[in-house]
Amino acid sequence: MKRPWPLVFKNARVLVCDEAGTIFDGDVAVSGDTIVAMGAGLHGFEEVDCAGRWLLPGFVQTHIHLVQTLFRGLADDLVLLDWLRTRIWPLERAHDVDSTATSARLGVDELLGGGTTTILDMATVDHTDAVFEVAAAAGLRLFCGKAQMDRPNEAGLSEPTDVSMRSANDLADRWHGKGRLRYAYAPRFVPSCSDELLRATAADARARGCLVHTHASENLDEVELVRQLTGRDNVEHLHALGLSGPDVLLAHCIHLTDAEEALLATTGTRLLHCPSSNLKLASGVARIPELLARGVHVSLGADGAPCNNRLDAFAEMRLAALIQKPRVGATAMNARTVLGLMTREGAAALGLNAGVVEPGRLADLVLLDPRRLWTGGDPYSAVVYQFDGRAVEKVWIAGQLVAEGGHALGVDPLALSAEADAALARVRARAGL
């Protein structure tokens, strides 16, 4: 029998994750990095038996901090500005190249093992090359930029404007478009960045065809601080400096005025919703159903491990659905909508032709085994409300296997844990924490 395709997923129940929430039973063929056919009776040189399993697009998390994975459990029970000033900034300042790489390895292993195939990441001021190197070695699809901060802070985690821009541009020139890697400029947030830096970032990112990724309106104290510094609200200030539009991605956006909500909708600026982080830092609950109704583009992310303690796509989907229901009713944020935010809409936010299982899309795929967490109901509902990482059997990016058994390929979790212990001891000693 002729075998026309290099790779075929046989006999799968496919959660397509299109807007209709389609379920397809059959075969999915992959050639190169792309899905090329769907149907029955397809054959390939390599075949993956998916009988009894569900195939769906890889999860796309649009707000992550890999450099913070090493700090999990070191900044609990704090509000945002105290969390940053007393723990996160001093710890980031104490990173060395090796500890940054270890932190990234921890995060990448957790993400890939849990079905996340693409992330938008914000690193710290230094050592960003290490994050790209770790992601490249693991096969992760990564959008990342160094955190740009030119306003002085208590931890000394800042640098002059020209130094920040020069180093960011050098990183973009070095990594943007290299394999599965993309540079995304990352001014940290308005209180850390001068107007000069923000204007320069908008111009230089667009000159290089890169996205811009920052935080906005996460916490009421931060919102008030931005008003004191600029005389404007976050989204309005960023817009005035040229930072709005489909190439600008704003994490959180919990405390928005009506004018800011309208600006997000009319400019197409992307909103990155992080429900676990927003709850743990007591920042609030973003008005996601209302924002979606206004036409604002929304996707999901876990944020960093110290303000979440997990990098689990399933946890973010479950919370994204549940926290809205007491506010606006049980029918708000149904499972198909939420799974779409973690797949299709995440890919759209990053400009990727992924997030849907259909011919022509990138073959970033996750195989779930529902028998591990038995369900007799709707598969979309099970993924959002019931499942966790235990359901993930294998993960492919661009048609290449990158994870199985809950870990990235080639990772020894015990060895990685020992490496992390040693790295954290160095960082804590330098930070005095």
**Pairing assessment for the beta strands 34-39 and 54-57 based on DSSP bridges:** unpaired
Q: What is the pLDDT of residue 154?
A: 87
At 16-70, the pLDDT tens digits run: 999 999 999 999 999 999 999 999 999 999 999 999 999 999 999 999 999 999 9
Q: In sequence order, which residues have a C-beta less than 8 Å from that of residue 402 and are 6 or more positions away?
A: 112, 117, 138, 139, 140, 395, 396, 408, 409
Instruction: For residues 176 and 138, give the distance between their C-alpha atoms in angstroms, rounded to a whole number.
Output: 17
The residue behind tokens 């539009």 is: 245
Question: pLDDT-based confidence at 2, cuts 50/70/90?
Answer: low
pLDDT tens digits along 79-99: 998 999 999 999 999 999 999
Residue 3 above 80 pLDDT? no
- Do 346 and 118 form a contact (C-beta atoms < 8 A)? yes
State yes or no: pLDDT of 1 exceeds 60: no
In this predicted structure, the answer to whether residue 220 has a pLDDT above a threshold of 90 is yes
pLDDT at position 218, please? Answer: 96
The answer, yes or no, to whether residue 426 has pLDDT greater than 70, is yes
> Can you list the positions of beta strands (E) in 198-279?
211-216, 248-252, 270-273
One domain, residues 219 and 312: yes
Beta bridge partners of 297: 270
Asked if 259 and 225 sit in the same domain, the reply is: yes
- Give me the residue label for tokens 């966790």: 388
Q: Please give the residue range of the domain that contains residue 51.
A: 5-57+361-408
Of 350, 369, 394, which marks where a domain is finished? 350
Lookup: tokens for 276: 């676990």
281 & 264 share domain = yes
Residue 224's pLDDT is 97
CA distance 105 to 203: 32
* 267 and 367 in a common domain: no
Q: Are 59 and 366 in contact (CB under 8 A)?
A: yes
d(CA 430, CA 433): 8
Q: What is the per-residue pLDDT for 204?
A: 98
Strand partners, 24: 14
Task: Note whether residue 80 is domain-resident.
Answer: yes
Closest CA to 305 of 102, 163, 148: 102
pLDDT single digits (tens) 267-321: 999 999 999 999 999 999 999 999 999 999 999 999 999 999 999 999 999 999 9
Per-residue DSSP letter, 351: T
CB neighbour class for 52 (10 Å; exposed up to 12, middle 13-18, buried from 19): exposed
> Token pair for residue 106?
């921890």
Same domain membership, residue 119 and residue 164: yes
Say whether pLDDT at 363 is over 80.
Answer: yes
221-234 average pLDDT score: 96
How far is it, in rounded angstroms, from Cα 258 to Cα 71? 36
pLDDT 10s digits, 156-192: 999 999 999 999 999 999 999 999 999 999 999 999 9
- The whole-number pLDDT of residue 108 equals 98
Residue 87 belongs to a domain: yes
Number of compact structural domains in the chain: 2
Could you report the per-residue pLDDT of 312-343, keeping only the tens digit for each?
999 999 999 999 999 999 999 999 999 999 99
Question: At 384, which CATH number?
Answer: 2.30.40.10
Residues 164 and 199 in one domain: yes
pTM (whole model) above 0.85:
yes
Q: How far apart are CA 402 and CA 23, in angstroms?
A: 25
